[in-house]
């Protein structure tokens, strides 16, 4: 997995609440069987005026320079709620996003980000709005800087502290393969199964 | 004496295979449900890393999201991409040795409908699936939640997940539901109260007589939509109704093991004095049939209400999002919800595609015709539901009323298979998500109960089901 340590980049504001994963990638855009080729379907219903013909909607923030080069997304409460589809994260990663800053996230989406090297940053609504206003004043120059080791977002002359779980932080900083880590615990899993089989034999038939 | 524990505490404690002492746990998974959309990349990941499955006897594979629901589906699936996903599920199941239920099998259906039907869903189990509505299985007192594809791969490889414990949220509803008010209205009202992020970071336990009174089907409807309140999972303590539902199901324990299992299942309830991090309390008698008006499940109101006016909302974020929602939905503030005309009616999904739901629809449609401008799809949640409905003659009622009776699958719930809304079409739907574009690009969804869907089909507009009962 790709590591996330430090990033200074253009941030794109998409300040709506409850942006769900059906909006991030409609089901019709995720009919492939691979993790690639999905970015073209990202925000398809908002990004195109004619979705099948892929006619770009000039109004949509990510179609406007310099936001089309953004690596950070600023959004509203409950970003990534709804469907568990990891395609939403794969699409955003392929498009170029490495971090999302929002007041809260859908739980499954949050986990999916961490497992793909995208940093989900939780900041209060006022902070996200303040950063967005600063960015909008001069989007190319006013780049947002995120430092994971110190858990700080630097923007608008302010250092905003954010919290993140220790294990999620380690996973991102080290680019760990979670399955590889768990496989080292195989003896514990085997031991659990042996004991559990005695206690709940009907679960093992 | 040990501290009193919640049902969630008990389920959690009994599945921790390893803990690092800092809250990071490996949680053992008893049942892994898989379908064609969220697994191809997981199996591919295993292959690429040269990994095998930890074990194959706790996983089941069934196609549901992409399957067409027309009878010709067994001959050919026209959409090449859907066909590829379906073929990959079958070949991955074969290559890795996962039990697989093909589309031609009477047991095929929506993954969350067939788990309980086959007796795989059991109290006390941990159940996961690459699908957020896995919460459904919490109706049995199982800890069930949706996961992304990376975690699907993790479970395939290790039969565990790396997790931290969630918080406990108790939703207590006192009293009894009035006539014409269902489990769907109950959960819509709860979501309206909690908001779509109100359950974030929590596992919900539903307590109160109203939940005890609900059938297993209705309990599943309630738990199913827990995710729409942002919660990780929804739980109900198992009781005699649960055990009666499970008895004799193909994968349920048998004979002496049944007795042993029931004795264990009876311990699965929150202890007196157990601590919840958050609690809400509601009164069932106050709940009336509900319907959504916007593009988030929290945008919900009693059918007796009017389309809200965003300008009346005090929260600025809500105001902006309500304005957008109404624009997308093509609704004018102040319009009575009952005057909103519909083009399509969809009955089905893992929320309301069970036999009881179809009976409720048939009871209203019997001897009536749906409005001439309305198209109605009735899609059973599984082959077994379909068979049962046909045994009871429900299909004849649907067809006589002018509805289409289909083969089992997710159908119009998610707009991925051929059952799809056209831009601008308005649908009264028994499914679970009214997100923009969910049922098709530009489609407008109103979530409601099966009875309310049937009522809308007859009148051609959103209708208080109590008027046509
Ligand atoms: S019926 Fe709808 S919500 Fe349920 S599993 Fe299928 S697509 Fe998901």
Condensed to tens digits (0 to 9), the pLDDT of residues B56-66 reads 999 999 999 99
Neighbours of A197 (CB within 10 A): 12
Instruction: Answer yes or no: is the C-beta of B67 below 6 A from any ligand 1 atom.
Output: no
Query: Do residues A82 and A146 both lie within one domain?
Result: yes
- A33 closest CB neighbour out of B22, B88, B438: B88
Within-domain flag for A76: yes
Query: Do residues A105 and A203 both lie within one domain?
Result: no
CB B417 within 8 A of CB B69: yes
Q: Report d(CA B128, CA A108) in Å as an integer.
A: 12
**pLDDT tops 80 at residue A28:** yes
Residues of B in contact with A124 (CB under 8 A): none
CB B136 within 8 A of CB B26: no
What is the average pLDDT across A131-156? 98
Q: Specify the CATH number for the domain of residue A106.
A: 3.20.19.10
Query: Do residues A148 and A184 both lie within one domain?
Result: no
Query: Do residues A166 and A205 both lie within one domain?
Result: no
Residue with tokens 């309500």: B322
Q: What is the pLDDT of residue A75?
A: 98
- At residue B337, the 3 state secondary structure works out as helix
Give the A window 100-129 contacts with B, CB below 8 Å: 104, 106-109, 111-112, 115-116, 125
pLDDT band for position B75 (cuts 50, 70, 90): confident
What is the number of domains present in chain A?
A: 2
Q: Report d(CA B25, CA B12) in Å as an integer.
A: 10
3-state secondary structure labels for all residues of chain A: CCCCCEEEECEEEECCCCCEHHHHCCHHHCCCCCCCCCHHHCCHHHHEEECCCCEECCCCHHHCCCHHHCCEEEECCCECECCCCCHHHHHHHHHCCCEEEECCECHHHHHHHHCCCCEEEECCHHHHHHHHHHHHHCCCCCCEEEECCCCEEEECCEEEECCCCHHHHHHHHHCCCHHHHHHCCHHHHHHHHHHHHHHCHHHHC
Identify which of A89, A97, A44 has the alpha carbon closest to the alpha carbon of residue A69: A97
Q: Report d(CA B464, CA B451) in Å as an integer.
A: 9
Return mean pLDDT, chain B: 97
CA dist B396 → B321, B365, B366, B384 (Å)? 43, 11, 9, 17
Quick check: A18 contacting B, CB < 8 Å? yes
Query: Do residues A115 and A159 both lie within one domain?
Result: yes
Strand order in the sheet with A72-75: A11-14, A72-75, A99-102, A119-122
Residues of A in contact with B85 (CB under 8 A): 31, 33
Instruction: Answer yes or no: is the C-beta of B432 below 6 A from any ligand 1 atom.
Output: yes
- At residue B117, the 3 state secondary structure works out as helix
Within-domain flag for A1: no
Q: How many helices (H) and strands (E) does chain B have?
A: 16, 18
Q: What is the pLDDT of residue B1?
A: 66
Q: Report d(CA B344, CA B462) in Å as an integer.
A: 11
Over residues A98-138, the pLDDT tens digits come to 999 999 999 999 999 999 999 999 999 999 999 999 999 99
CB B341 within 8 A of CB B310: no
Instruction: Answer yes or no: is the C-beta of B133 below 6 A from any ligand 1 atom.
Output: yes
Query: Do residues A186 and A170 both lie within one domain?
Result: no
The secondary structure element, H or E, covering residue B457 is helix B450-459
Query: Do residues A146 and A200 both lie within one domain?
Result: no
Instruction: Answer yes or no: is the C-beta of B65 below 6 A from any ligand 1 atom.
Output: yes
Quick check: A98 contacting B, CB < 8 Å? no
Cα B111 to ligand 1 centroid, rounded to whole Å: 8
Enter the ipTM.
Answer: 0.96
Q: pTM of this prediction? A: 0.97
Query: Do residues A160 and A77 both lie within one domain?
Result: yes
Identify which of B414, B409, B468, B464 has the alpha carbon closest to the alpha carbon of residue B436: B414
**First vs last C-alpha separation in chain B:** 53
Q: What is the pLDDT of residue B197?
A: 87
Over residues B275-295, the pLDDT tens digits come to 999 999 999 999 999 999 999
**pLDDT tops 90 at residue A205:** no
What is the average pLDDT across A13-32? 96
Instruction: State whether B22 and A81 contact (CB < 8 Å).
Output: no
**Domain around A27:** 6-174
Cα B278 to ligand 1 centroid, rounded to whole Å: 29
Within-domain flag for A192: yes
- At residue B453, the 3 state secondary structure works out as helix
Quick check: A33 contacting B, CB < 8 Å? yes
Sign of CA dihedral B392, B397, B399, B404: negative
Q: Ligand 1 pocket test: pick from B410, B416, B427, B438 the residue with the most ligand atoms within 8 Å of its Cβ.
A: B410
Q: Report d(CA A119, CA A12) in Å as an integer.
A: 15
Instruction: State whether A189 and B158 contact (CB < 8 Å).
Output: yes
Q: What is the pLDDT of residue B119?
A: 98
**Residues A172, B165, B145, CA angle at the centre, nearest 5°?**
90
Within-domain flag for A64: yes
Within-domain flag for A106: yes
Query: Do residues A133 and A34 both lie within one domain?
Result: yes
Q: Which of A3-12, A144-153, B70-79 has the lowest mean pLDDT?
A: B70-79
Within-domain flag for A128: yes
Query: Do residues A72 and A154 both lie within one domain?
Result: yes
CB B188 within 8 A of CB B154: no
CB B200 within 8 A of CB A205: no
Within-domain flag for A78: yes
What is the average pLDDT across A54-74? 98
**Percentage of chain B modeled with pLDDT above 70:** 100
Quick check: B267 contacting A, CB < 8 Å? no
**First vs last C-alpha separation in chain A:** 36
Q: What is the pLDDT of residue A109?
A: 98
Quick check: B338 contacting A, CB < 8 Å? no
Identify which of B415, B420, B406 has the alpha carbon closest to the alpha carbon of residue B353: B406
Query: Do residues A136 and A197 both lie within one domain?
Result: no
Q: Which residue's C-alpha comes closest to atom 6 of ligand 1?
A: B410
Q: What is the pLDDT of residue B156?
A: 98
Q: Which residue's C-alpha comes closest to atom 2 of ligand 1?
A: B413
**Percentage of chain B modeled with pLDDT above 90:** 98
Q: Report d(CA A77, CA A105) in Å as an integer.
A: 7
pLDDT band for position A66 (cuts 50, 70, 90): very high
**Tally of CA atoms within 13 A in the half-sphere of B342 that contains its CB:** 33
Q: What is the pLDDT of residue B310?
A: 97
Q: What is the pLDDT of residue B2?
A: 85
Over residues A166-195, the pLDDT tens digits come to 999 999 999 999 999 999 999 999 999 999
Q: Report d(CA B264, CA B261) in Å as an integer.
A: 5
What is the average pLDDT across A56-78? 98
Query: Do residues A91 and A155 both lie within one domain?
Result: yes
Within-domain flag for A131: yes
- At residue B371, the 3 state secondary structure works out as coil
pLDDT band for position A1 (cuts 50, 70, 90): confident
**pLDDT tops 80 at residue A25:** yes
Quick check: B429 contacting A, CB < 8 Å? no
CB B382 within 8 A of CB B349: no
**pLDDT tops 70 at residue B118:** yes
What is the average pLDDT across B397-418? 97
**pLDDT tops 70 at residue B322:** yes
**Residues B150, B154, B159, CA angle at the centre, nearest 5°?**
150
């Amino acid at each position: 997995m790709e590591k996330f340590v430090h990033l200074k980049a253009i941030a794109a504001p998409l300040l709506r609440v409850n942006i769900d994963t059906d909006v991030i990638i409609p089901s019709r855009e995720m009919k492939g069987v691979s993790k690639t080729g999905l970015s073209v379907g990202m925000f398809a219903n908002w990004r195109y005026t004619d979705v099948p013909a892929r006619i770009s909607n000039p109004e949509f923030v990510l179609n406007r320079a310099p936001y089309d080069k953004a690596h950070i997304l600023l959004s509203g409460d409950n970003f990534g709620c709804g469907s568990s589809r990891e395609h939403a994260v794969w699409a955003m990663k392929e498009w170029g996003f490495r971090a999302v800053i929002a007041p809260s996230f859908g739980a499954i989406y949050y986990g999916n980000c961490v497992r793909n090297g995208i940093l989900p940053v939780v900041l209060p609504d006022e902070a996200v709005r303040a950063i967005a206003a600063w960015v909008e004043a001069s989007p190319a120059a006013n780049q947002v800087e995120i430092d994971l080791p110190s858990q700080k977002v630097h923007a608008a002359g302010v250092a905003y502290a954010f919290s993140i779980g220790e294990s999620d932080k380690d996973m991102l900083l080290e680019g760990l393969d979670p399955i590889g880590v768990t496989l080292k615990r195989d003896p514990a899993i085997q031991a659990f199964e042996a004991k559990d089989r005695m206690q709940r034999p009907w679960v093992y038939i | 004496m040990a501290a009193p524990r919640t049902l969630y505490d008990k389920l959690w404690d009994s599945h921790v295979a390893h803990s690092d002492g800092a809250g990071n746990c490996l949680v053992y998974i008893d049942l892994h449900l898989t379908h064609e959309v969220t697994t191809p990349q997981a199996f591919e990941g295993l292959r690429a890393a040269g990994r095998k499955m930890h074990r194959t006897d706790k996983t089941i594979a069934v196609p549901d999201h992409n399957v067409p629901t027309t009878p010709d589906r067994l001959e050919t699936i026209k959409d090449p991409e859907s066909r590829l996903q379906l073929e990959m599920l079958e070949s991955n199941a074969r290559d890795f040795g996962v039990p697989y239920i093909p589309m031609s099998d009477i047991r095929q259906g929506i993954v969350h409908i067939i788990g309980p039907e086959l007796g795989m869903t059991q109290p006390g189990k941990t159940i996961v699936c690459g699908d957020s509505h896995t919460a459904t299985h919490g109706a049995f007192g199982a800890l069930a939640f949706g996961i992304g594809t990376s975690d699907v791969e993790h479970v395939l490889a290790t039969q565990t997940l790396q997790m931290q414990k969630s918080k406990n949220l108790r939703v207590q509803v006192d009293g009894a539901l009035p006539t014409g008010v269902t489990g769907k209205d109950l959960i819509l009202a709860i979501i309206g109260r909690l908001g779509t992020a109100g359950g974030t970071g929590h596992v919900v336990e539903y307590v109160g007589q109203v939940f005890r009174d609900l059938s297993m089907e209705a309990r599943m409807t309630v738990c199913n939509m827990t995710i729409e309140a942002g919660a990780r999972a929804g739980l109900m303590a198992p009781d005699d109704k649960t055990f009666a539902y499970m008895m004799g199901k193909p994968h349920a324990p048998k004979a002496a093991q049944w007795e042993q299992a029931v004795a264990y299942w009876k311990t699965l309830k929150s202890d007196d004095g157990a601590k919840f991090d958050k609690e809400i309390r509601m009164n069932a008698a106050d709940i009336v049939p509900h319907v959504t008006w916007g593009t988030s499940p929290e945008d919900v109101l009693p059918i007796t209400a009017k389309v809200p006016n965003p300008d009346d909302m005090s929260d600025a974020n809500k105001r902006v999002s309500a304005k957008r929602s109404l624009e997308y939905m093509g609704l004018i503030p102040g319009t009575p919800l009952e005057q909103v005309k519909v083009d399509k009616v969809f009955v089905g999904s893992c929320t309301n595609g069970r036999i009881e739901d179809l009976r409720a629809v048939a009871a209203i449609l019997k001897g009536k015709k749906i409005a001439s401008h309305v198209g109605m799809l009735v899609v059973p949640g599984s082959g077994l539901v379909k068979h049962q409905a046909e045994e009871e003659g429900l299909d004849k009622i649907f067809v006589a009323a002018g509805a289409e009776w289909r083969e089992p699958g997710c159908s119009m719930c998610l707009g991925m298979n051929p059952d799809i809304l056209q831009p601008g079409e308005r649908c009264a739907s028994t499914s679970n998500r009214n997100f923009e574009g969910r049922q098709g690009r530009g489609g407008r969804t109103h979530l409601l109960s099966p009875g309310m869907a049937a009522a809308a089909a007859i009148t051609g507009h959103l209708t208080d089901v109590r008027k046509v009962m």
